[in-house]
Amino acid sequence: MIVAQLSDIHADGSGGRLERLDKVLNWLKPMRPDALIVSGDLAEAAFDKSYRAVRERLEAVGCPFFVVPGNVDDHGDMRQAFGARFGWPSDRPLNVVGRVEGLRIIGLDVTVEDGHYGDAAPILDWLADELSSSNEPTLIFQHQHPFLTGIDGKDRNTCHNGDRLAAVIEAAGDTVLALTCGHVHRPMFTRFAGRQATMAPSVTLANRLRLDGKESAIVDPPGLLLHHYVDGRLVTHVVMVG
Ligand SMILES: [Fe+2]
């Protein structure tokens, strides 16, 4: 099965951001994903209009989809747009759980009011309860990264309490296959809680890669991740839609 992951659409009421989203979704169409996840920052302005435009496009993909908020999202407007689908009773946290073809997908809302950083602490008890309710293979997604990227200036706004999040994941044994996030607008691959951890490229403009005082130009087109899960094996593909 294929779980497609989009991140950081940053819709703002203008056509440009949605054009990039359409480009990515057009690429995705022939892959016919089994599920679609969006790891936050769906919109950054003109929220009501932006969420409706994004939701229409996600619905048109024709598979189950799941979203979590990022730091620039508006919780109230996001709940208005997606709350009926995900049963969100209040503005925070906007967590989601879904099951597609034997894979449990958990979306964690680690955002913090008025903060660009995230914090896993408020949702840890909820996550521990959810994980202990079954040992189905599970993919976790969230917005802010609970690991260090090493990119200069990009580790100020991580997901705090990553060590406690890792402990909850580790306590669930082999249940969690991987954790994936967004937020930094660059694709990357590392380890977290002893398992695969990824970050999806952004739909909107990428950030520069700054490592050890050296920096790249921004040449990155929009992109996405495809998590391919078959026979208990997860392989993640990165796709840039140039
Ligand atoms: Fe973000």
Q: Angle at the Cα of 88 (from 99 to 139), degrees rounded to 5?
A: 30
104-131 per-position pLDDT tens digit: 999 999 999 999 999 999 999 999 999 9
Give me ligand 1 centre to Cα 29, in Å: 26
Mean pLDDT of the chain: 97
Give me ligand 1 centre to Cα 75, in Å: 14
83-98 per-position pLDDT tens digit: 999 999 887 899 999 9
Q: How many Å apart are CA 182 and CA 40, to the nearest integer?
A: 7
Domain enclosing residue 41, as ranges:
2-240
Give me ligand 1 centre to Cα 229, in Å: 27
Instruction: Quote the tokens at residue 231.
Output: 């026979």
The helix/strand/coil state of 129 is helix
Give me ligand 1 centre to Cα 135, in Å: 30
What CATH number is associated with residue 81?
3.60.21.10
Instruction: Quote the tokens at residue 89.
Output: 């009773």
Give me ligand 1 centre to Cα 166, in Å: 21
Give me ligand 1 centre to Cα 117, in Å: 8
Give me ligand 1 centre to Cα 94, in Å: 15
Give me ligand 1 centre to Cα 232, in Å: 31
Give me ligand 1 centre to Cα 185, in Å: 8
> In terms of pTM, does the model score above 0.95?
yes
Give me ligand 1 centre to Cα 37, in Å: 15
Tens of each residue's pLDDT in the chain, 242 residues: 999 999 999 999 999 999 999 999 999 999 999 999 999 999 999 999 999 999 999 999 999 999 999 999 999 999 999 999 999 988 789 999 999 999 999 999 999 999 999 999 999 999 999 999 999 999 999 999 999 999 988 999 999 999 999 999 999 999 999 999 999 999 999 999 999 999 999 999 999 999 999 999 988 999 999 999 999 999 999 999 98
Give me ligand 1 centre to Cα 8, in Å: 7
Tally the domains of the chain. 1
Give me ligand 1 centre to Cα 9, in Å: 10
pLDDT value at residue 5: 99
Give me ligand 1 centre to Cα 28, in Å: 23
Give me ligand 1 centre to Cα 133, in Å: 30
Residue 187 CB coordination number (10 Å) = 21
Q: Could you tell me if 141 and 105 are in contact, meaning their C-beta atoms sit under 8 angstroms apart?
A: yes
- Using H for helix, E for strand and C for coil, what is the string for 67-128? EECCCCCCHHHHHHHHHHHHCCCCCCCCCEEEEECCEEEEEECCECCCCCCEECHHHHHHHH
Give me ligand 1 centre to Cα 5, in Å: 15
Q: How many Å apart are CA 118 and CA 112, to the nearest integer?
A: 6
